[in-house]
Structure 1
Amino acid sequence: MSLKKATLLIVVILLIDQISKFYIKTQFALHHRIEVFEWFQILFVENDGMAWGTKLSDFITGISDRTAKLSLTIFRIVAVIGIGYWLVTSVRKKGPNILIVAIALIFAGALGNIIDSVFYGIIFDDSYSQVATFLPETGYDTLFHGKVVDMLHFPLWEGVLPNWIPFVGGDYFTFFEPVFNVADMAISSGIGMLIVFNRKAFHQEEEEDHKASVYIEKEYV
């Protein structure tokens, strides 16, 4: 796959991701819910941290939530630069299409959530008990402290767990509980492709390593 096609895939995912987030942010108040099907809901929540709402401050003592948020955003920016470099390098080396598509999906998803984290705090006001305004006089936070917009919820099963299950028996349980967005889907799909098609995705690199080892053996052994 060419870099041009990979870039087009990234742009399409980013557009879908940001358009869906813009629509939710300007049409829904926080925690507003629409049931599309019994097993699928549009539920507007905002994620201030990592996956499933966890924060760095939950794991590192002595660090404030705002410092943890800024650190996480900077880490994401550095990570997406590294992923972008990996993508360009893989294209130049004519890597397998499955590898390039997977990296492009991960890159697009990571960049989509970075846009929220960096800019949403200044281009929107808050969504508590109201629909947010785009480009207000004062945003709900400062640069690099925005919250990621999530809206896709798939409560495939809800009910009370049987009492015989250790530790959680008798508790009310929802599967699948997390709320996510298009960017999260892209990241998960890309990682899933790398796991499922691992041998195919990295077959060329394995061949190059094998050829290099054979060459070394012939020359120096």
Structure 2
Amino acid sequence: MKKILLLITALVVALDLWFKSFIENMIPLGKSITMIPDFFDLMNVRNTGAAWSMLSGARVLFLVLTPIVCAGLIYYFIKKQDVYQLTAISLILAGALGNYYDRVVFGYVRDMFAFNIFGYNFPVFNIADSAVSIGVGILIVLVILEEMGLYHEQTNN
């Protein structure tokens, strides 16, 4: 199972990097293409911060912190047996690696998905951001279910 999840991690990173390059080549910087009017645009924007451009300009912090976080994720990936936790860790790792590549190579993260939800312009994001969000969401659901007694971590013991 872990080999499959590592393959999925690699595929998510590859898809993220490919799509970022595709958007960069198709849409001029700062411009957008409307896909669904008043709801969804593809954009070419640069983000020097984290989610929602928080900590904008803190590139060195991200360059130092991301490998530490990735090492921790890899450690837990090796230790864990639970398929749901492993899936979450794989997605978070894929997202971290995709955005880390951008920060190292370009000095910023390339974002492209722009949603307008009930008049609110949701912050622009990318596939790597989505992978991290989904992975964290899975972990949150697992914690809630465990607290409710509806889920127990799978182990080999």
| Smaller-chain TM-score bracket | 0.7 to 0.9
- Contact 2:40/2:115 (CA < 8 Å) preserved in 1? yes
1:213 match: none
1:11 match: 10
- Matched residues, percent identical? 31
Matched, 1:107 2:97: no
Over 3 Å counting, the alpha-carbon distance change for 1:4 and 1:48 in structure 2 is same
Deviations 1:79-101 (A, max 9, x none): 112111111221xxxx2211111
Any stretches of 5+ residues in structure 2 without a counterpart?
Answer: none
The match for 1:203 among 136, 140, 153 is 153
Task: Give TM-score, length-normalised by structure 1.
Answer: 0.63
- CA distance in 2 between counterparts of 1:147 and 1:193 reads 27
What is the deviation of 1:201?
6.7
What is the deviation of 1:8?
0.8
- Contact 2:49/2:59 (CA < 8 Å) preserved in 1? yes
What is the deviation of 1:48?
0.2
What is the deviation of 1:204?
4.0
- CA distance in 2 between counterparts of 1:201 and 1:47 reads 38
- Contact 2:111/2:124 (CA < 8 Å) preserved in 1? yes
Give the CA RMSD over aligned residues: 2.0
The match for 1:153 among 114, 133, 141 is 114
- CA distance in 2 between counterparts of 1:71 and 1:196 reads 29
- Contact 1:96/1:201 (CA < 8 Å) preserved in 2? no
Q: How does 1:95-134 map to 2 (within 5 A)?
A: 95-119=81-105, 121=106
Q: How does 1:159-170 map to 2 (within 5 A)?
A: none
Larger radius of gyration: 1
Over 3 Å counting, the alpha-carbon distance change for 1:11 and 1:83 in structure 2 is same
Q: What is the total number of aligned residue pairs between the two structures?
A: 151
Deviating above 6 A after TM superposition, structure 1's stretches of 4 or more consecutive aligned residues are none
2:24 match: 25
Kindly provide the amino acid, as one letter, of the partner of residue 25 in structure 1: E
What is the deviation of 1:202?
5.5
What is the deviation of 1:6?
1.2
Any stretches of 5+ residues in structure 1 without a counterpart?
Answer: 57-64, 122-145, 159-173, 209-221
